[in-house]
A and B are shown apart, each in its own frame.
Chain A
Amino acid sequence: MLTLNQLTKAYSVGDPALRDVTFRVPRGQVVGLIGPSGAGKSTLIRCINRLVEPSSGAIYLDETDLTCLGSRELRRARRRVGMIFQEYALVERLTVMENVLSGRLGYVPFWRSFTRRFPGQDIENAYRLLDRVGLLAHADKRADALSGGQRQRVGIARALAQEPELLLVDEPTASLDPKTSRQIMRLITEICTERELPAIVNIHDVPLAQQFVDRLVGLRAGRMVFDDTPDRLDEAMLTEIYGAEDWTATDQEDDEPESSSDAQISLRLPGAST
């Protein structure tokens, strides 16, 4: 379980990026984080594994307060938190297998990672994860030889290789086409259910978020302005979060022909993700 308590992040210049953000994510729940660009979504996610240092407040992962760890304990804590990135952030010139195994870096000593001699169990597990995301045949390819959707699957496998207790997902579908976006979102939510993983998914595509997450948190200028189930998000609330806009028109504009209602239905059919 993850608890954020009055989390605040202020930069030396400009408005604070986060102000008193407080919420709690129980086991197995997938929380979608929505809000306009610059609302602090990315900062919030990065504060949790301290890729960005929070200014004040507390972050509890089960009993551990992540905000006051020394560098050694921080590395141990980061192992417990898997992260999936916008535009994949794979190490492009390494093989798929090495990318997945890099999820184990926090567990193995330097000489093992240096000589690429990971424990047999890690390798076995990496193969299993690649099989789970449907990329078993691509293990020895270089990451930059894969398509966007495939790369994001590698990113997911890398995060899972850490055997995390929490998933942080930063705009997983940015730069993916609508169909692949849905497949990736489905994969992430399925995995969270399978493993009872709590997850925070930072996402700009509101309809997509509504379709897949259990709960939505809305941020505006660093403050939480919405926290409820996706079906409670109405037009008035969207205006509150994003500012005035004709939401019905935007919905149609945003949805490419591919995600017209027919396509959506066909995509929802089981097995469509492979």
Chain B
Amino acid sequence: MTANSAYPRRWKRPPQLITTRRWRLTLPLLVVAYLVLALGSLEIDAGRVVEGLSRGARFIQGFLQPDFVSRWQDIRQGLIESLTMTLTATVVGVLISVPIGIGAAHNLSPRPVYLVCRSIVSVSRSLQEIIIAIFLVAMFGFGPFAGFLTLAFASIGFVAKLLADDIEEASASQIEAIRATGASGLQLIHYAVQPQVMPRLIGLSLYRLDINFRESAVIGIVGAGGIGATLNTAIDRYEYDSAGAILLLIIAIVMLSEYGSSYLRKYLQ
């Protein structure tokens, strides 16, 4: 091949994401400025961190050599509370979400019902479990009942929202076809909507079961019962081997339920 100088020997990749020159220059500056400010406002006590490293090592050791035995009574109680409140909260949450989810689908519900249901959903979604738990514990006292209420309330926002979105996405032509037969509102839901969204609803419930278990490990920190309370105590007492055991149990149960629910979902479809 003989070199032909008619073609350029340089090529620069044209910018893909940010096409205006001004932004290409200012954006990195803004990022750097933010990082300087943010890192500047960090007050890291280096001595405390170094001191913590040995404790960190002890925790990792505890994680590798977990101690299930010495606190087994507490762990058992915490696990039972977590599991029972997970199940009951999911069942109650899903049962309540179904009517709310139908109400929050704009293709099925009249405008006022739609607005009410959507606002219930957004209130439930915007408040975090832990904040709800703080309030419910203050009202209902310590223990798994407050945890149950927290998880059920949070499930409503999650399941109803996704269910409503699903119904809205359900094929409009099928709904129209059933409506054209002269079916009533309930018949419409039963024949046109239910077959389309039922598998999804089961999938959602199983997914929420999973999330509820994970959350049940957290809300115990503010007194709503469950394994979280046990974990909190273990960490407060610096019993890292017991804490490691609890964390491993949580991971194992989450893995098991994830595997189980994906299997169940496949089976149900």
Task: Give A contacts to B, CB under 8 Å.
Answer: 95, 97-98, 101, 116, 118, 120-121, 123-128, 131, 139-140, 142, 163
4 closest A-B pairs by CB: A120-B9, A127-B7, A124-B7, A140-B14
A100 to chain B, nearest CB (A): 10
- Interchain CB contact (< 8 A) of B10 among A95, A123, A128, A131: A123
B7 to chain A, nearest CB (A): 4
Q: Is the interface of A mostly helix, strand, loop or mixed?
A: helix
The reply to whether A123 and B8 contact each other, CB–CB distance below 8 Å, is: yes
Q: How large is the interface on B (under 10, 10 to 19, 20 to 34, 35 or more residues)?
A: 10 to 19
- Chain B hits for A127, CB < 8 A: 7-8, 11
- Interchain CB contact (< 8 A) of A125 among B1, B10, B13: B1
**Which B residues between 32 and 81 are near A, CB-CB below 8 angstroms?**
none
B4 to chain A, nearest CB (A): 6
**Which B residues between 8 and 34 are near A, CB-CB below 8 angstroms?**
8-11, 13-14, 16
The reply to whether A121 and B13 contact each other, CB–CB distance below 8 Å, is: no
How many Å lie between the Cα of A50 and that of B14 in the bound state?
A: 34
A132 to chain B, nearest CB (A): 11
How many Å lie between the Cα of A128 and that of B10 in the bound state?
A: 13
Instruction: Assess whether B268 is interfacial by the CB under 8 Å rule.
Output: no
Instruction: Assess whether B186 is interfacial by the CB under 8 Å rule.
Output: no
Q: Is the interface of B mostly helix, strand, loop or mixed?
A: loop
The reply to whether B14 and A124 contact each other, CB–CB distance below 8 Å, is: no
A161 to chain B, nearest CB (A): 12
The reply to whether A95 and B14 contact each other, CB–CB distance below 8 Å, is: yes
Instruction: Assess whether B180 is interfacial by the CB under 8 Å rule.
Output: no
**Which B residues between 127 and 180 are near A, CB-CB below 8 angstroms?**
none
The reply to whether B1 and A123 contact each other, CB–CB distance below 8 Å, is: no
Closest to A139 in B: B11
The reply to whether B13 and A98 contact each other, CB–CB distance below 8 Å, is: yes
15 contacts between A and B (CB under 8 A): A95-B14, A116-B13, A120-B9, A121-B9, A123-B7, A123-B8, A123-B9, A124-B4, A124-B9, A125-B1, A125-B7, A128-B4, A139-B11, A142-B16, A163-B1
The reply to whether A120 and B10 contact each other, CB–CB distance below 8 Å, is: yes
- Chain A hits for B1, CB < 8 A: 125, 163
The reply to whether B3 and A124 contact each other, CB–CB distance below 8 Å, is: yes
- Chain B hits for A125, CB < 8 A: 1, 7
- Interchain CB contact (< 8 A) of A131 among B7, B13, B16: B7
- Chain A hits for B3, CB < 8 A: 121, 124
How many Å lie between the Cα of A139 and that of B7 in the bound state?
A: 12
- Interchain CB contact (< 8 A) of B11 among A123, A131, A142, A163: A123
- Chain B hits for A118, CB < 8 A: 11
How many Å lie between the Cα of A127 and that of B14 in the bound state?
A: 15
How many Å lie between the Cα of A127 and that of B13 in the bound state?
A: 14
How many Å lie between the Cα of A142 and that of B14 in the bound state?
A: 10
- Chain B hits for A126, CB < 8 A: 11
Closest to B11 in A: A123
Closest to B16 in A: A142
- A125-B7, A127-B7, A139-B11 known, 4 other contacts, Cβ within 8 Å: A123-B8, A123-B9, A123-B10, A128-B4
- Chain B hits for A116, CB < 8 A: 13
How many Å lie between the Cα of A154 and that of B216 in the bound state?
A: 56
Closest to B8 in A: A127
B118 to chain A, nearest CB (A): 37
The reply to whether A97 and B4 contact each other, CB–CB distance below 8 Å, is: no
Residue picked from B7, B10, B13, most chain A C-beta under 10 Å:
B7
- Chain A hits for B9, CB < 8 A: 120-121, 123-124
B229 to chain A, nearest CB (A): 49
- Chain B hits for A95, CB < 8 A: 13-14
- Chain B hits for A97, CB < 8 A: 11, 13
- Interchain CB contact (< 8 A) of A128 among B7, B11, B13, B14: B7
How many Å lie between the Cα of A168 and that of B99 in the bound state?
A: 61
- Chain A hits for B4, CB < 8 A: 124, 128
- Chain A hits for B11, CB < 8 A: 97, 101, 118, 123, 126-127, 139
How many Å lie between the Cα of A142 and that of B16 in the bound state?
A: 9
How many Å lie between the Cα of A126 and that of B11 in the bound state?
A: 10
Closest to A123 in B: B11
Closest to A93 in B: B16
B16 to chain A, nearest CB (A): 8
How many Å lie between the Cα of A131 and that of B4 in the bound state?
A: 12
How many Å lie between the Cα of A126 and that of B8 in the bound state?
A: 10
How many Å lie between the Cα of A212 and that of B11 in the bound state?
A: 36
How many Å lie between the Cα of A43 and that of B8 in the bound state?
A: 39
How many Å lie between the Cα of A125 and that of B7 in the bound state?
A: 8
**Which B residues between 185 and 240 are near A, CB-CB below 8 angstroms?**
none
How many Å lie between the Cα of A67 and that of B15 in the bound state?
A: 42
B203 to chain A, nearest CB (A): 32
